[in-house]
Structure formats: C-alpha cells, structure tokens
Amino acid sequence: MPRTPDYFTAKTIIITGAASGIGRATANIFAREGANVVCADVNEAGAKETAAQVNAKGSQALALKVDVTKRAQVDDMVKRTVDAFGKVQFLFNSAGAAIRRAKFLEIDDALMEKTFDLNVKGTLYGMQAVLPHMLREKFGVIVNVGSMAHRRGGPGSSIHYAASKGAVVTMTMGVAREFAQQGIRALSISPGPIKTPFQDAAATSPELVQKFLDDVPMKRFGEPEEIGELVLFMCSDACPFMTADTVYVNGGGGWR
C-alpha cells in the first residue's frame, strides 16, 4: 500500500499481458486505488474485458490490442496512453510465456527466437518507449516479470524460458542503475508457480505441475492478486529507495 492516501489517484499505469492472470489482477488492484489503467494485450477481447472491470471500479481504462514483439505497436501503445491521459507514471511488463516446454536438445531456433522476442524484446521495447516520457517528468517506476526459473535454470523443460527471464532480470537491473539519478526506479518480480493460464499455454504436464507443487513448502500455488499487490507496493511511495532488485515470491520454494 502507498504511504500517501490517494497516491495513485489519476496516475497512469500501462500493463502488458492484461487480458488474464497476473496482468488482469494487477489492473484491478490499481483500479481499486483510483489509477488510470491501460490494458494492453495481443488478446483484444481479453484486454477489453479487463478494461470493463477497471471501469466498473470507477477508474478510467484504455484497452489496446498490442503485440509486444512488434516495436511499432509498443511505441503506439505509449503514444495513445499519453494522448489519453497526459502522462504515464508506471509500466508493468507482465506479458510473457515459455511458449512451450522442451528438453534442452529439443530447443530449436524458432522456439528460442519466439521466447526471446516475447520475454526480452517485449520488455525492452516497453521500457524504451516509456522512458523518454518518464524522464521528462523526472519520475517513473517500471516493474518487469522475471521468474524463479532464472535461478533454477529450467532443466528438463524450460532452459529457453529461464535464459530469457535471466535476461529480463539483468536488463532491469541495468536500467535501474543507469537512470537512478533521474527519478526512475526499475524492479523485477521473480515468482514461483502462480495459478494462471500460463501453465496451460505452455502445455505443462500434470506431472510437472505436481513437481512444482511438491517443491513449495506452503503446498499451494500463488494467486495472481498476490503478485499484483506487490506491484502496487513497488510503484508506491512506500519504498522510494528500492530499485535494481528482483523480489522472489515463491511460497518458500523454487530453489532446487
């Protein structure tokens, strides 16, 4: 929660991957706090549904169909945000996926390229598009989604994904340090297994899901809202000295 009452009122956040899961949960949490929420996703219908939920809470929403692997679309997303709301204070790069599970020797060029296009370039494009606007105001917070996979390496199923998320965590740290004296903070969140459509999209087997669960001392998956509340805290005025770090949210597991 913010230290200042009404801190988020009339401020604007862009959320990629807002059609479902962590992105949608975060959109609703920021709406609860009175923020303007730009709901961006390649799934246009899902983005519009999230925007409707934001509006129902009394906040202003803008739903945009955006493929974050396309720089021009990301640039246009930020332009339309500024046109609609004047400024953009926060960016949450939630869009990301493992594309599909694969053993290391099964990772081909297409899978590696698609994974890095989505997770790394999608994050890069968002930050590069929004930073000039934040720098003019000498204020901005960027939160990117990493993963526990970057600490584990993803052996047997997702080394390609782990490598891409390692790049996200490193890139976030670099951006945070480069712009630290210009009013910009950048952080990443490295979740353990979260109850979202992610696992289905990656065709995660029931056996692997159970393996993930067995590794969590709390014996449950996280909820998307538990990540969204952390994003809210990171963007708030409650932690102005916090930057360049990744925060692990994993129920105590994910280290093996």
Encode pLDDT of 234-246 as tens digits: 999 999 999 999 9
Residue 256 has pLDDT above 60, yes or no: no
Look at residue 197 in the predicted model and tell me its pLDDT.
76
Residue 161 among the catalytic residues: yes
Measured CA to CA, the distance from residue 115 to residue 126 in angstroms comes to: 16
Residue 139 vs residues 9, 87, 225: alpha-carbon distances, Å: 16, 10, 26
pLDDT tens digits along 113-160: 999 999 999 999 999 999 999 999 999 999 999 999 999 999 999 999
The dihedral formed by the CA atoms of 216, 218, 219 and 225, expressed in degrees to the nearest 10:
-90
Look at residue 200 in the predicted model and tell me its pLDDT.
58
Instruction: Categorize the per-residue pLDDT at 203 as very low, low, confident or very high, splitting at 50, 70 and 90.
Output: low
Look at domain 12-248 and name its CATH class: alpha beta
Q: What are 167's two structure tokens?
A: 């790049």
Look at residue 204 in the predicted model and tell me its pLDDT.
67
Pinpoint the alpha helices (H) of 95-205. Answer: 109-116, 122-137, 149-152, 159-178, 198-201
Measured CA to CA, the distance from residue 233 to residue 16 in angstroms comes to: 18
Mean pLDDT check: name the lowest of 76-90, 133-147, 210-224: 210-224
What does the pLDDT average to over 187-204? 79
Look at residue 198 in the predicted model and tell me its pLDDT.
62
Among 7, 125, 161, 248, the one annotated catalytic: 161
Q: Where are the beta strands (DSSP E) in 134-253?
A: 140-145, 184-191, 246-249
Signed CA dihedral, 102, 107, 113, 116: sign only: positive
Instruction: Categorize the per-residue pLDDT at 252 as very low, low, confident or very high, splitting at 50, 70 and 90.
Output: very high
Question: Considering the entire predicted model, what is its pTM?
Answer: 0.95
Look at residue 234 in the predicted model and tell me its pLDDT.
98
Q: Name the residue with higher pLDDT: 130 or 207.
A: 130
Instruction: Categorize the per-residue pLDDT at 251 as very low, low, confident or very high, splitting at 50, 70 and 90.
Output: very high
Q: Under a CB-based contact definition with an 8 Å cutoff, are residues 171 and 198 in contact?
A: no
Dmax over CA atoms of the chain, in Å, equals 53
Spatial CA neighbour of 39 closest among 57, 21, 23, 58: 23
What does the pLDDT average to over 157-179? 98
Query: In 3-state terms, what secondary structure has residue 44?
Result: helix
